Amino acid sequence: MKILLVNTYDRGGAAIACLRLHSGLLQEGIDSQLLLRNKLDNPQASNIVELKKINKTIIQKVTQRFNKELVKLKIIKDRELNKQEFINNIRAKELEMFSFPKTNIDITESEFYKVADVINLHWVADFLDFPSFFKKNMKPIVWTLHDMNPFSGGEHYNEKFLGIDEFGYPVKRKLTQKEIKVAKKNIKIKKSALKKSAKLIIVTPSEWLASEARKSDLFKDFPVKCIPNGIDSKIFKPRDKNLSRELFNIPKDKKVILFVAHTISNNRKGFMFLKRAIEILNYYDIALCTVGHRELHIETSEELIELGFINNDKLMSHVFSAADVFIIPSLIDNLPNTVIESILCGTPVIGFPVGGIPEIIQNGKNGLITKEISVKSLKESIIKFLENSEKFDRYIIRKNAVTKYDKKVQSNNYINLFNEIINNN
């Protein structure tokens, strides 16, 4: 059985999940290769190859330049909106990335594609060219979704909110007509391409994303199944709390609240809700610990420990073990790796009732789900935890997490799926 996993980068949450699956398949004796557009880091897993971007042909370059000149002369009135212009000038800067369905890259030219029995697409934005790939491909495809982009008009999440109001509630976002127009055009391109694909199975880490995929115009006619992300429970495990706090100079006499995001100021990750909630909890002896890139200065009345970006699983297991509680105030999310990592380390989690987060958090057992998305509701859940923290048994939390989220469970689920596809092909 030869499996080719395809992902744009080796960095970010989706890439981490893809790399972990690749590693798990290799450990189970599967001939797995991982094809990347750009190899940014140096992952320890083997069988990882990079596909360089194909240069535009002379005809493509001349055509593009000719069209630009026609635009200047106003011969073309309704020109295709320039991607960078759309991203820089029309979409709000606080929103996450927006991806288009066309690239000048041909994945089917890879030697690893040619010998694979099954193609397992992952996060392939700015890598997969919808029209050419689905026209050429004759192999069975398993597409593991890490966000909503594959079936959206370009957004990676349906970000309904942008910012926070004076009362601590999320501000509803309004789409511009240009955003709607571009999204409709992208969906039309994707829909046309997918008509040529009969051998496609959609896999999602969360039941929430599976439901969204089934409701979408693009994937409603394809089989969709859920396989949760798997994580190495031998690395993410409860560590000695005092030792872990010493490692990062975290006070031993305070209740430590942890926040983790690739970029702390990311609107979707909701740090502003946690910051506001903590500011009105000054009668509790707490410290806020953050992990992630910081683009803005963080001011808070509580003690703040900024650990910066950490790209090491063992160190992160110590970070989770050092915390009393991990808080994920995401406004929308799939099945966040960080939530699973936290409970594997025995650390309870507090989160908003969005996306796949309530599928991981068992209210009152391994954490708390707030009643709504608001500062008030988050504050109430934090207080409830602080006043009942002894009721959360980190070893029971860990034990239940291993049963469902150990990477061996995920690997075996994928192997069974791949075998079924190959036998039926």
Q: Which amino acid is at 397?
A: I
Spatial distance between the Cα atoms of 391 and 365, rounded to a whole number of angstroms:
8
* Contact predicate 352/169, CB 8 Å: no
In this predicted model, what pLDDT tens digit does every residue of 308-337 receive, in sequence order?
Answer: 999 999 999 999 999 999 999 999 999 999
The per-residue pLDDT for 73 is 53
Q: Per-residue pLDDT for 66 more than 80?
A: no
Q: Beta-strand (E) ranges in 89-217? A: 118-121, 141-144, 161-164, 170-172, 200-204
User: What homologous superfamily is domain 241-405 in, according to CATH?
Assistant: Glycogen Phosphorylase B; (3.40.50.2000)
Backbone φ, ψ for residue 350 (5° rounding)? -115, 130
User: What pLDDT band is residue 52 in, cutting at 50, 70 and 90?
Assistant: low
Q: Give the position of tokens 């500062």.
A: 375
Domains 2-230+407-424 and 241-405 share a fold: yes
**Integer Cα distance of 144 and 334 in angstroms:** 12
Does pLDDT of 56 surpass 70? Answer: no
Tens of pLDDT along 201-260?
Answer: 999 999 999 999 999 999 999 999 999 999 999 999 999 999 999 999 999 999 999 999
Residues 247-261 have pLDDT tens digits of 999 999 999 999 999
pTM of the prediction? 0.91
Fold designation for 2-230+407-424: Rossmann fold (3.40.50)
pLDDT of residue 42: 64
- Domain spans, the chain: 2-230+407-424, 241-405
